[in-house]
Amino acid sequence: MDFARFRGTDAYLTSPELESAVNCALALERPLLVRGEPGTGKTQLAEALARALGLSLIHWPVKSTTKAQDGLYVYDTVQRLYDSRFGDGDVRDIRRYIKLGPLGEAFAARDRRVVLIDEVDKADLEFPNDLLHELDRMRFRVAETGDEVVARERPVVIITSNAEKELPDAFLRRCVFHYIEFPDRELMARIVRVHHPDLGNQLLDQTLGAFYQLRDVQGLRKRPSTSELIDWIAVLRRAGVESVELDDSLPFLGALLKREQDLLAFAEAMHRGRRPRA
Amino acid sequence: MFVDFLYELRERGVKVGPQEALTLSQALGKGLHETTLDGFYRVARALCVHREEDLDAFDRAFAHHFRGVPDDALKIAEEVLQWLLDPRSRRELTDEEREILEKLDLEEVRKRLRERLAEQNERHDRGNRWVGTGGTSPHGRGGTHPSGIRVGEGETGGRGAMAISARRRFRDLRSDVTLDTRQIEVALRRLRAYVREGAQDELDLPGTIDATARSAGELEIKLRAPRRSNLRVLLLLDVGGSMDPHSEVCERLFSAAKRATHFKELRTLYFHNCVYGRVYENGSLTRGPRIVDLLRECDRSWKLIVVGDALMAPWELTASNSPWSWTEEDRASGIAWLVALTGHFERSIWLNPEPEAAWYGTAEVIRQVFPMFRLTLDGLTAGIQHLLRGGERSR
């Protein structure tokens, strides 16, 4: 096999499905689109992949105002005007005012890069479509100078989405898709172990028990996820809590549930749960 | 074998096409499936499924298709290699990619299709099925496909299916009955009008150049206000009763309008059957502003979009003391309220989820008051054009 393979890292555990999807993306040189509940490690995947392949990572966080063009390059007109007035450097050289964006930087780099286009669905509806061509061809032209930026080494592109907006079909078709499922208890125990290697078995068992029960509480708007569990355990350990049990006095509940409605829903569920026992 | 599987996927609503097929064959050619069925499952899933909603359908298709298949992926690999070696198999694939690959004259394809159709009519059983199933699958699948896919055989069948698929696809794009949220969002995009207002924090490049040139090269920066949307939309939705079957498409329209960031303001209000003195803030019709107040709040530049089937008992439209109007001053007939609405706003449209054939009775009357469009992609687009024309004329 003439392409690098991904098998996860010490700090990032994967499933065979995820490995397969990543390897497909690597071998076919296509963007990998990762979806999944918030907190399931979509962003970390790119970091882990970069580390595993020994490549440097370029992070492009997408916001609602981000335009596809920003990822390629920005022509800093104001700076140029300013320089022309106050005479700092050669303003005739337009190239000095072309600033490459994350994607442009990855294309222009000498070695292969991993580009993370984070939360692509935050942007405008047309954003993914506007990137199609550049992602396909891995090249673009700077209109102001006529220069063409061509990727020497096709970067590994990871795209994450929270499914806030539907992505266009044409875009989806070009991506390798992976949906990060919520980890089951066994995998979760391994994940927690990675972050808290010296955690006692008893506490691990109890926290996981409470965590999965909590996720099953009806009516939660935002169910706690992996990152929240890890934070919660960190808080518990810092506070020296030895054991936990799922009831309405669950310590540091705020680390797991972050919405007022969810806290109310939880209290109600606990209340209901107790009545038959009494 | 795996091409059949792709058709199985399509049958279950996972929209795979030539691109997936080519990518999959490429991936298998590279040995990504590690010659195991499990590996094939994972690779195919990563490449054929594009949204998590389809994962379940994929699993079911896989389970069904590969039931009883021993884990001898070696065979798969061989088949794929053969399939790749034979260039003709590629053209049997599907749709537009094949079109590009082959660069076939569409006229010729159409001719072949006609010939094929004639031929098929004679061969009774297959022919009918062939054309008939065109409706369910864009590829004119059904009877022809399993052999059509096989290399060499059924070449004309494949071609015919291509023309049919092209025709079907086209129609889907134009006026599919099921508008998905994204399509609505894209259509709503066109409904916009920009003006420059607010803080001046954007560089006015031509202005700056002009001013700088005027002062003989002395730099003079000009700023201007950014272009902002100046479009206000009033959305009135008919709820309950005869509108229930359409609630899903209405919901989609509503959520798309809600998410559209280019409206300066969007108000959504509800009514039942016809607008009387009052419209409501929620679907249960409990409280809401009176029309009189609403019209005071929304000036005539607002774009009014009414969504309803315009079907009601005739008296609801004409009687002046309808049970829906509570107070004395609200006691005008339904049609009078509608006329008041269209009279107030510069531009307004009525979107009707029912097909045009069903626009009779009260709908016919309302149609004379409101420009009525169907709640499909075509209708929505035409309606939006109508709304915009008003905006341009007023400026």
pLDDT at residue A270, rounded to an integer: 79
Residues of chain B with CATH 3.40.50.410: 230-394
Torsion, Cα of B115, B117, B119, B124 (10° steps): 180
Across A79-88, B224-233, B300-309, which has the greatest mean pLDDT? B300-309
Percentage, residues of chain A above pLDDT 70 = 95
Give B205's contacts in chain A (Cβ within 8 Å). 77
pLDDT at residue B95, rounded to an integer: 55
pLDDT, one tens digit per residue, over B64-76 is 787 655 444 445 5
pLDDT at residue B155, rounded to an integer: 32
Number of helices and strands (H, E) in chain B? Answer: 19, 9
Percentage, residues of chain A above pLDDT 90 = 17
pLDDT at residue B106, rounded to an integer: 47
More confident residue, A207 or B13: A207
pLDDT, one tens digit per residue, over B254-293 is 777 777 777 878 888 888 878 877 888 776 777 778 888 8
**Per CATH, is B230-394 categorized as 3.40.50.410?**
yes
pLDDT of B392 over the 80 cut: no
Closest CA relative to residue A254, chosen from A245, A262, A243, A242: A262
pLDDT of B167 over the 60 cut: no
More confident residue, A2 or B53: B53
More confident residue, B39 or B71: B39
Is B50 in contact with A177 (Cβ distance < 8 A)?
A: yes
Q: Which residues contact A19 (CB under 8 A, 6 or more apart)?
A: A5, A6, A7, A8
Alpha-carbon distance B200 to B225, whole Å? Answer: 4
Closest-approach residue (CA) in chain A for B188: A125
pLDDT at residue B168, rounded to an integer: 30
Distance of CA B207 to the CA centre of its chain: 41
Give A172's contacts in chain B (Cβ within 8 Å). 50-51
pLDDT, one tens digit per residue, over A253-272 is 888 888 777 888 888 877 77
More confident residue, A138 or B245: A138
A106 — pLDDT class (breaks 50, 70, 90): very high
pLDDT at residue B281, rounded to an integer: 79
Alpha-carbon distance A171 to B144, whole Å? Answer: 31
Report in angstroms the alpha-carbon separations of B283 from A122, B235, B269. Answer: 29, 13, 8
pLDDT of B87 over the 90 cut: no
Q: Of B51, B56, B229, which to mutate for an interface test with A (greatest number of A Cβ within 10 Å)?
A: B51
Is A175 in contact with B50 (Cβ distance < 8 A)?
A: yes
- Distance between B52 CA and the closest CA of chain A, angstroms: 6
A170 — pLDDT class (breaks 50, 70, 90): confident
How large is the average pLDDT for residues A86-113? 86
Q: Of B37, B41, B45, which to mutate for an interface test with A (greatest number of A Cβ within 10 Å)?
A: B45
Q: Are B359 and B314 contacting, i.e. CB atoms less than 8 angstroms apart?
A: no
Q: Which of B42, B203, B221 is opposite residue A16, by nearest beta carbon?
A: B42
The CATH code that applies to domain A16-180 is: 3.40.50.300
Is B50 in contact with A173 (Cβ distance < 8 A)?
A: yes
Q: Which residues contact B20 (CB under 8 A, 6 or more apart)?
A: A173, B6, B47, B48
Q: How many CB pairs under 8 A join A and B?
A: 84
pLDDT of B186 over the 80 cut: no
For residue B309 the two structure tokens come to 């089937």
Quote the longest CA-to-CA distance of chain A: 83
Let me know if A221 is exposed, middle or buried by CB neighbors in 10 A (0-12, 13-18, 19+): exposed
- Distance between B187 CA and the closest CA of chain A, angstroms: 11
pLDDT, one tens digit per residue, over B110-149 is 555 455 545 544 433 333 333 333 333 333 333 333 323 3
Alpha-carbon distance A20 to A27, whole Å? Answer: 10
Q: Are B77 and B35 contacting, i.e. CB atoms less than 8 angstroms apart?
A: yes
pLDDT at residue A100, rounded to an integer: 92
The DSSP line for B250-302 is HHHHHHHHHH-TT-SEEEEEEEBSB--SB-BSSTT-----BHHHHHHHS-TTS
| A223 φ/ψ angles, rounded to the nearest 5 degrees | -75, 140
pLDDT at residue B82, rounded to an integer: 53
Is B203 in contact with A77 (Cβ distance < 8 A)?
A: yes
B158 — pLDDT class (breaks 50, 70, 90): very low
Is B42 in contact with A21 (Cβ distance < 8 A)?
A: yes
Closest-approach residue (CA) in chain B for A33: B50
Quote the longest CA-to-CA distance of chain B: 85
Across A36-50, A99-113, A163-177, B380-394, which has the greatest mean pLDDT? A99-113
Q: Which residues contact A91 (CB under 8 A, 6 or more apart)?
A: A80, A83, A84
pLDDT at residue B363, rounded to an integer: 85
For residue A248 the two structure tokens come to 């309405």
pLDDT at residue A57, rounded to an integer: 94
